Amino acid sequence: MLRRPATAGIGRTKRPRPNLERYPARASARREHGGRLRRIARAALWTAAASLGAWTAVQAYIAAGPVVAGWFEIREVRVTGLRTVTREDVMKRLQLDFRATLLSVSPAHLESRAATHPWIKSAAVSRLPMHVLSVEITERRPAAVLKAASANYLLDEEGAVLTAMAEHEYEDLPVVIGVDPGRLLLGDDQLRRTAQNAVRLGGLLAQSLDGRPEVDMSDPEHAVAYVQGMRFKFGSWPFDEQWERYRATEPAHRAGAARGPRDIDLRFSDKVIVREREQLS
């Protein structure tokens, strides 16, 4: 019996193996698409989990709110540092809600509210265990009397208006004139600095001389002060330096000058000029 020669495979086309990709680009695109879908699914899952956790926390807080509020309830407001301001004045400025807790209040906001009182310079609010809110007040102190045609006002050392006052109150304090109280009450910063300089100058004179100084700031660059029958003229540079220059020469002026009204000119940096007023035209 004759065998056929092994030529059956000659002329046939090879078919692709089943375990090899015929189109690699399409397969890569499918893999990328599948990976993107998996990433989106994971992100959605994490978002849902986070939302559920947040919702659970909010519900837990709402349920535990009364308990937590009881732990931090404000049962005492301790106010210290009062001299002129009353506790009732402070409480009105604080405007505390009856439901407020140590956690719900903002010390900075309470300090700002308290400082709106004209007599309060600053306030320090702090939380103390377990149920105490501490409010430490620093008050402004009267330093001078501002006299105007309409009324008299009390000033502190920073030139801030504390209150209107009667004619014969605080007669031991220096007097300031030449400052518009209306502009000062409206918050004119430049005028407040002028008033502050006047208060400072009045304090310098009051510490060194007997009597009640009166400081005229009609011309802020050339203040004029009156005390013991003397009129002092100041220049625009710091009053402290000018006054110290006068104090250094005061014994000689007092020994050589006759009694009576005198003008003392301190506007020059290298000398002090003293004149008797009767000699002035």
Domain that holds residue 200: 142-279
The verdict on 268 and 183 lying in the same domain is yes
Q: How many folded domains does the chain comprise? A: 2
Judge if pTM exceeds 0.85: no
**pLDDT band, residue 5 (cuts 50/70/90):** low
pLDDT, tens digit, 9 for 90 and up, residues 105-143? 999 999 999 999 999 999 999 999 889 999 999 999 999
For residue 94, the domain's CATH number is 3.10.20.310
Q: What is the pLDDT of residue 207?
A: 93
**pLDDT band, residue 72 (cuts 50/70/90):** confident
The verdict on 177 and 275 lying in the same domain is yes
237 alpha-carbon distance from chain centroid: 29
**pLDDT band, residue 276 (cuts 50/70/90):** confident
The verdict on 92 and 202 lying in the same domain is no
The verdict on 188 and 134 lying in the same domain is no
Q: Is residue 50 part of a domain?
A: no
Whether 135 and 160 have beta carbons less than 8 Å apart is answered as: no
Q: Note the residue count of the chain.
A: 281
| DSSP-H helix ranges across 72-188 | 87-94, 107-114, 181-185
**Measuring CA to CA, how many Å separate 107 from each of 87, 90, 112, 136, 211?**
18, 14, 9, 11, 45
